[in-house]
Structure 1
Amino acid sequence: MLRFLSLLVLGGFITGAVNAQELLGFDEAGAAAQLELEADFDSRLSAADQEQWLRILSRDPHHVGSPEGRAVVDFVAARFEEWGYDVEIAEYQVLFPSPRTRELELVAPTRYTAGLTEDTLPEDPSTARTDNLLPPYNAFSIDGEVEAEMVFVNYGTPADYEILDRYGISVEGKIVIARYGGSWRGIKPKLAGEKGAIGTIIYSDPADDGYGAGDTYPDGPYKHESGVQRGSVMDMPTYPGDPLTPFVGATAEAERLPREEAPTITRIPVLPISYRDALPLLEAMGGEVVPREWRGGLPITYHLGPGPARVRMKLEFNWDIVPAYNVIARLEGSEYPDQLVIRGNHHDGWNHGAADPISGLVALMGEARALAELAAEGNGPKRTVVYAAWDSEEQGLIGSTEWVEHHAAMLDKNAVAYINTDGNSRGFVNIGGSHVLEKMANEVMRDVEDPQTGVSVAERLRARIEVNGNAAASAELNHRADLRISPLGSGSDYSPFLQHLGIASLNISFGGEASDGSYHTLYDTYEHYTKFRDPGLAYNVALAQVAGRATMRLANAPRLPFEYTGLSYNISLYMSEIEELADSMREATLSSNARIESGVYDLALDPTRNIVPPLKKAEVPYFNFAPLKNALDELKQAAASYADVVASGLPASESENRLLYTSERELTRDDGLPGRPWFTHHIYAPGFYTGYGVKTIPGVREAIEERQYKLVEDEIFVAADVISGMAARVRELAER
């Protein structure tokens, strides 16, 4: 599911010479031994093996509940058993809608019946293996038959609807057509339904990832004219996982909600289509010409509507309960067997899934085999390492969420950290995650070589930032030792670990140099991946090196490599952003209201066009951010004191390590975010109206964005409380 969701924030890199023996959590002798072990680990990674597994596992479409999906499970489980792991296949019974009827027809002013199919290509033999193929659809759309005029809503974001309001266009009773992009796909029907629309069509515009971006498949990597991005439209910002079993694992015995009461299933029907099918629909639309920035790459004049284009859409689904199988493989630790370092990647795909998820899965398998070989030679991990291959991620992070909910008490007690991967490709390292792990992540990036240039992946990323970064990013390079890793929103299997239980997490990938339009289409195949995304799988091996090092260091460090100055630094940035947000909204509101009152807007607008001034908005008050600032000062002081402890080289006791790995829990509260009790983390969360995109200090930030000003004051105190709680934990660690 993940598609470059975890981009590194533009930060800095260590200047000057770096002592290669410095490893957070290890003394000098221990660091030398660990680095030697990692060099041995690297020598056991094989691009050829990963390519063979990629070919096997992406041969056929293999979605959740299918025989082919079970074959993938059995293959992966068998490899883990061969390598000496204790393997369990954890089964859950989950809701899985598959399409029974999909119809889309333009009924006025002309007629056109959408094909809703993807072309088989002779250049790609995998596209002919379609026996188990899921046709293009959006999972967790409701059933429905609707007919109405169309309205073009661009990407269907809140800002886009504000533009439509100025044109006097309502989507109430209409079917909206939206482009993929701008926000996560599930936000489009969510917002459309809230605005009164009765259906949503989503298409991929060729300007974004089709011929407007480059040569299309099979001549190039970009989206074929018939390609359709499948995907879930479950309301994951409310909660991910099985819609019928929130907060509990979806075992056979679990109590389930009636389907009509599940809040994460859409309220209107939703259908994705290709730009080939979108062209006749958009060409038939009238009304105002769209704003310049809304124009796509189709050879037409884009109009807003409503009408005269009128469409009929009919969707019916099989709402089945199917088994989801997670492969759970344990390699027991020699010293701390109850402490778990968990490393995961999903195995299910919408179709063949070569890039998403198999590229990440085979890197994980390469790591697992190398680690098992080291263990067989007497160099096993000190903490237990758990490798997990999750099912039903594509439908809404279901396999991982159900496992986490099922084992929440055990994980809260024993989970040290979670490391996630998903799709991968050629380019620059991307790491996002908990900032208590930022220092360790930087040391890992320092110690892995980029396969194209021979410098470290950190140095290569730093060069990219220097060339392409903005002024703030360049300035940060000069004054900060570490690259800043990005905060995590949602989009892959780290969500239940980090945002529900408060388990420190990382998400790791490479990308940025391999252009792609195959995401969630029939064309996400072995042929496409090995030709365009990572020929030779050199970056798959690099992914295994980065994720493998992070796993091994967390598993072996005598003092867990958690560090808090990076956390306090990033929280200070988020607080500054929130203050700037409030100030900019206040200034913009005052300015806009003054122009409305003075009539300036009316005079400036073209009277021949059907566009009106914006509506007046309530003024933005001044907020008292002092509680947040005071809490941050506490955390900064505590973090500096703990950094002195780490620098002293003092070893950590088992109880100290437990305090370290449970420290991320201090940033959670059991009652969760406003209106979203499943999301308990008060520093990182997916945005309610962005989906994948992160909102930092989300209770405060989203209350300001949504102009819920009374809630802002309440959430300032909640956020200050969690930051103070973290400061108290770090002080306790510094004083032991």
Structure 2
Amino acid sequence: MTRLRLQHRLIAVCTMATCVATAVATGNNPASDDTAMLGFTSSDAAKQQSLEQRFDAQLDPADQRNWLKQMSSQPNQVGSPHDKANAEFMLAKFREWGWDAHIETFSVLYPTPKKVALELLGPRPFTAALKEPTIPGDATSSIHDGALPPYNVYGADGDVTAKLVYANNGMPDDYKDLARRGIDVRGKIVLTRYGGGWRGLKPKLAQQHGAIGCLIYSDPHEDGYAKGDVYPKGGWRPADGVQRGSVADMQVYPGDPLTPGIGSVPGAKRLAIKDATSLLKIPVLPISYADATPLLQALAGPVAPANWRGSLPLTYHVGPSTAKVHLTVQSDWGQKPVYDVIAKLKGSTEPDQWIVRGNHHDGWVFGAWDPLAGNVALMAEAKAIGALVKQGWRPQRTLVYASWDGEEPGLLGSTEWAETHAKELQAKAVMYVNSDTNGRGFLAAGGSHSLQHLVNQVADGVTDPETHVSVRERLRAHMLIAGNDEDAKPEAKDVAKIAAQGGDVPLSALGSGSDFSAFLEHLGIASLDLGFSDEDDDEGIYHSQYDSFDHYVRFGDPTFEYGIALSKVVGHIVLRSADANVLPMRFGDFSSTLDRYVDELHKLVDKTRKATDEQHKLLDGHAFTLDADPTRPIAPPERDSDVPAIDLAPLDQAAKQLTQSAQAFETAYSKRAATGFNLPAKQGLELNAQMGRMEQALTNSDGLPTRPWFKHMVYAPGMLTGYGVKTLPGVREALEARRWDEANHYTVITAKVIDHYRQQLDQLTVLLDTKS
């Protein structure tokens, strides 16, 4: 898995609401500007800058290169000997650098394939290779012992034979298009291509529509020769490359499928496999475009719509096929250990406030880019911080550095650790900072909007290795260019407008796809997700055998300068958060963002009502029937339900009151900052403790509808987007699914959550206003 780099959660394609929020954020924050270091007095800010310079001096790209080569030298998936060896290697390094470190082990359900097979029957039989051959110049591509074959973890076992239907990306609208063409997938095997939505939704929706199996292939249109030269000449996916990945229903809950909501520790009550709602009921298999080509050629039926066609040299049909396909998946459904490496440096004055930093270390095969490029940046930070400690510095707050295991199958290591330590984390953790992959190019940053200004200040102080301006200003230029392209999407145009105004660039909202999920969306801990990308050519080898050291040093970050840049950005955020007089959070940024999210809901209601009225007019006028080609029949779409009155007034009022409270807080903050945060020690501790718990006020104990594990009422992965975020999800997803009563119900629930957040903010203002 990875951060949403492949769909992806890049800053430059954040939602309009998030981006527009930045334009007004500074108006709600009179106390803060770009020149004053957030959370520090002027004298302490100078000391902090000196500390960060000493931190930077410890960073060496040779370290990251050497660690990456060693850690990606053997298959590195969950349960492999090298995965354990890597954990033990990091444990020794953390201890060498002066950290109090240990390995925390969890036992999780992790099925591995015993047999996978795929064949096309009939007059032109074909047997799929289902393997990735050795590539000249890639030393590890010849290592097959200990490597798992291409498969999708948490798909069901099965031995099925049926005709094939092509369903494009396998998303809801694709099934509507099939139905309009009179094509039923019940009792069929569905062939989908990667893209358009998260992989786990493809077999889930196929299953819901009655299919008995699902295949997912990588079309060269997305990440093969249509993008550039394929590996080894270029970085893109070769014909036999396969994207592995999890298909667990992580939108319901991530982590061990048998222990939802609790840690997978000895004695934990586990579900029976048949009762685990995050597991699929049909077999699913990923395949290469070399293996997919004969299957696509076997399809009959209508020619696929234009936007369903990839880049293979054939005519795309939707099916069904004339010949049947035989698919076999058999797995060992046993338990495997995951090894989380946990390292701590106890804080000197506020030890019960934790800054938690994480990246995972398990890969699908070798995992040089995903995830080890990010993991070695984390290690470099830990080494540099250890050197600072040996020089006499000590963080005021406790630092917790974690290298997670089992992220790829379903955020296993981070989720089980967070669930096991939930009470302690909610009492102590004030921030979680995540990374995953790392490449070359532009900073991607997403997270809690109370941390937006902190990220901007840090990014403005880190130099981009290629252009020698700050990484923030390079990102701003990237936004301007992308938004002014004639083919730019509206979201990119909106980003460009904000970027042109100067000031902060926006954080994107977080959905899922990496280890921040348990911290942000389950426990309500303010979180960030950071990395560099968009100039490297790594997407083509995503989750394949070719995600190797040799590929990364040619097409990823050859000089490891962006590994150093990531260590600087994250390291400075960690150091500032550890030592700030007042936690570096700015709640007016969240308030401004919320205003735009609420405005977006109003626009969604209006757009939906207008589109519904237009559809009804077209149906009543028989326009679809008259427009259709009689020789290529296509039925009209199903009639959408009428849009009733939607009452968003409770959210409007809650957002308005929060704006007022945010302004009052910032005024009080400004006064305190001007006097050097001269709070009595007890009062200062209480202020920071309450600030650290603010994000928890945005959660609801009952969680989201049908998925109570997700408790955050502002950020969540969409049920039909996978990794992609849905903001104000209880209301937004109900509107999009036309569940009108549910939308009105969650408007009230979400408004109450926002009111609780406002009340907590008002308490912070009282603490700041109280005379010393």
Q: How does the TM-score come out when normalised to structure 1?
A: 0.98
Structure 2 residue aligned with 1:675: 706
Tell whether the 8 Å contact from 1:6 to 1:508 is kept in structure 2 after alignment: no
Query: Residue 508 of structure 1: SS of its match in structure 2?
Result: strand
Structure 2 residue aligned with 1:88: 102
Task: Kindly state the Cα deviation for residue 479 of structure 1 after the two structures are TM-superposed.
Answer: 4.9
Match of 1:727 among 758, 768, 772: 758
Structure 2 residue aligned with 1:6: 9
Q: Which amino acid aligns with 1:717?
A: V
Tell whether the 8 Å contact from 2:357 to 2:433 is kept in structure 1 after alignment: yes
**1:570 partnered with 2:610:** no
Q: CA separation in 2, counterparts of 1:475 and 1:486? A: 16
Q: Which amino acid aligns with 1:551?
A: V
Give the number of aligned pairs.
734
**1:126 partnered with 2:129:** no
Tell whether the 8 Å contact from 1:558 to 1:651 is kept in structure 2 after alignment: no
Unaligned runs of 5+ in 2: 27-31, 484-491, 768-772
Q: CA separation in 2, counterparts of 1:88 and 1:50? A: 22
Match of 1:661 among 671, 681, 692: 692
Structure 2 residue aligned with 1:475: 497
Q: CA separation in 2, counterparts of 1:479 and 1:46? A: 36
Structure 1 residue aligned with 2:430: 416
Task: Kindly state the Cα deviation for residue 475 of structure 1 after the two structures are TM-superposed.
Answer: 2.6
Task: Kindly state the Cα deviation for residue 477 of structure 1 after the two structures are TM-superposed.
Answer: 2.9
Q: CA separation in 2, counterparts of 1:20 and 1:501? A: 31
Q: Which amino acid aligns with 1:690?
A: T
- Higher mean alpha-carbon deviation, 474-483 vs 139-148, is at 474-483
Q: CA separation in 2, counterparts of 1:480 and 1:731? A: 30
Q: CA separation in 2, counterparts of 1:599 and 1:434? A: 48
Task: Kindly state the Cα deviation for residue 20 of structure 1 after the two structures are TM-superposed.
Answer: 7.5
Task: Kindly state the Cα deviation for residue 586 of structure 1 after the two structures are TM-superposed.
Answer: 1.2
Q: CA separation in 1, counterparts of 2:193 and 2:80? A: 30
Structure 2 residue aligned with 1:427: 441
Q: Which amino acid aligns with 1:560?
A: L
Structure 1 residue aligned with 2:478: 464
Q: CA separation in 1, counterparts of 2:687 and 2:440? A: 39
- Higher mean alpha-carbon deviation, 338-347 vs 100-109, is at 100-109
Structure 2 residue aligned with 1:613: 636
Structure 1 residue aligned with 2:529: 507
Task: Kindly state the Cα deviation for residue 233 of structure 1 after the two structures are TM-superposed.
Answer: 0.3
Q: CA separation in 1, counterparts of 2:356 and 2:258? A: 26
Q: CA separation in 2, counterparts of 1:680 and 1:108? A: 51
Q: CA separation in 2, counterparts of 1:163 and 1:46? A: 54
Structure 2 residue aligned with 1:180: 194
Unaligned runs of 5+ in 1: none
Query: Residue 412 of structure 1: SS of its match in structure 2?
Result: helix
Q: How does 1:187-198 map to 2 (within 5 A)?
A: 187-198=201-212
Cα deviations by residue, 1:183-233 (Å, 9 ceiling, x for unpaired): 110000111111111110000001110011110000000001110000000
Q: Which amino acid aligns with 1:220?
A: G
**1:597 partnered with 2:600:** no
Q: CA separation in 1, counterparts of 2:400 and 2:482? A: 38
Q: CA separation in 2, counterparts of 1:576 and 1:288? A: 42
Tell whether the 8 Å contact from 1:371 to 1:380 is kept in structure 2 after alignment: no
Tell whether the 8 Å contact from 2:480 to 2:497 is kept in structure 1 after alignment: no
Match of 1:560 among 553, 560, 583: 583
Q: Which amino acid aligns with 1:635?
A: L
Match of 2:650 among 618, 624, 627: 627
Q: Which amino acid aligns with 1:147?
A: T
**1:587 partnered with 2:610:** yes
Tell whether the 8 Å contact from 1:288 to 1:610 is kept in structure 2 after alignment: no
Tell whether the 8 Å contact from 2:134 to 2:141 is kept in structure 1 after alignment: yes
Tell whether the 8 Å contact from 1:359 to 1:424 is kept in structure 2 after alignment: yes
Q: Which amino acid aligns with 1:184?
A: W
Tell whether the 8 Å contact from 2:258 to 2:273 is kept in structure 1 after alignment: yes
Cα deviations by residue, 1:207-265 (Å, 9 ceiling, x for unpaired): 11001111000000000111000000000000000000111100121111011111111
Task: Kindly state the Cα deviation for residue 673 of structure 1 after the two structures are TM-superposed.
Answer: 0.2
Tell whether the 8 Å contact from 1:228 to 1:273 is kept in structure 2 after alignment: yes
Q: CA separation in 1, counterparts of 2:534 and 2:668? A: 38
Assess, with a 3 A threshold, how the Cα gap between structure 1 residues 499 and 142 changes in structure 2: closer, same or farther. Answer: same
**1:310 partnered with 2:324:** yes
**1:703 partnered with 2:706:** no
Match of 1:712 among 733, 743, 754: 743
Q: Which amino acid aligns with 1:179?
A: R
**1:33 partnered with 2:31:** no
Q: Which amino acid aligns with 1:642?
A: F
**1:488 partnered with 2:496:** no
**1:547 partnered with 2:570:** yes
Task: Kindly state the Cα deviation for residue 128 of structure 1 after the two structures are TM-superposed.
Answer: 1.3
Query: Residue 214 of structure 2: SS of its match in structure 1?
Result: strand
Q: CA separation in 1, counterparts of 2:542 and 2:514? A: 14
Match of 1:68 among 82, 91, 99: 82
Give the 4+ runs in structure 1 shifted more than 6 A.
Answer: 11-15
Cα deviations by residue, 1:614-655 (Å, 9 ceiling, x for unpaired): 111111123111100100011111111111222220356100
Tell whether the 8 Å contact from 2:482 to 2:496 is kept in structure 1 after alignment: no
Q: How does 1:322-333 map to 2 (within 5 A)?
A: 322-333=336-347
Task: Kindly state the Cα deviation for residue 562 of structure 1 after the two structures are TM-superposed.
Answer: 1.2
What's the C-alpha RMSD, in Å, of the aligned pairs? 1.4
Tell whether the 8 Å contact from 1:21 to 1:28 is kept in structure 2 after alignment: no
Task: Kindly state the Cα deviation for residue 589 of structure 1 after the two structures are TM-superposed.
Answer: 1.2
Q: CA separation in 2, counterparts of 1:644 and 1:478? A: 27
Structure 1 residue aligned with 2:165: 151
Q: CA separation in 2, counterparts of 1:157 and 1:284? A: 22
Structure 2 residue aligned with 1:168: 182
Q: How does 1:440-455 map to 2 (within 5 A)?
A: 440-455=454-469
Q: CA separation in 2, counterparts of 1:696 and 1:21? A: 31
Q: How does the TM-score come out when normalised to structure 2?
A: 0.93
Q: Which amino acid aligns with 2:744?
A: E
Q: Which amino acid aligns with 1:130?
A: H
Q: CA separation in 2, counterparts of 1:605 and 1:707? A: 27
Query: Residue 475 of structure 1: SS of its match in structure 2?
Result: helix
Q: Which amino acid aligns with 1:493?
A: D
Q: Which amino acid aligns with 2:430?
A: V
Assess, with a 3 A threshold, how the Cα gap between structure 1 residues 480 and 659 changes in structure 2: closer, same or farther. Answer: farther
Q: CA separation in 2, counterparts of 1:132 and 1:421? A: 27
Tell whether the 8 Å contact from 1:602 to 1:612 is kept in structure 2 after alignment: yes
Task: Kindly state the Cα deviation for residue 19 of structure 1 after the two structures are TM-superposed.
Answer: 8.0
Q: Which amino acid aligns with 1:133?
A: A
Cα deviations by residue, 1:390-430 (Å, 9 ceiling, x for unpaired): 01111100000000000001001000110000001000000
Q: Among the aligned pairs, what percent are the same residue?
A: 46
**1:213 partnered with 2:219:** no
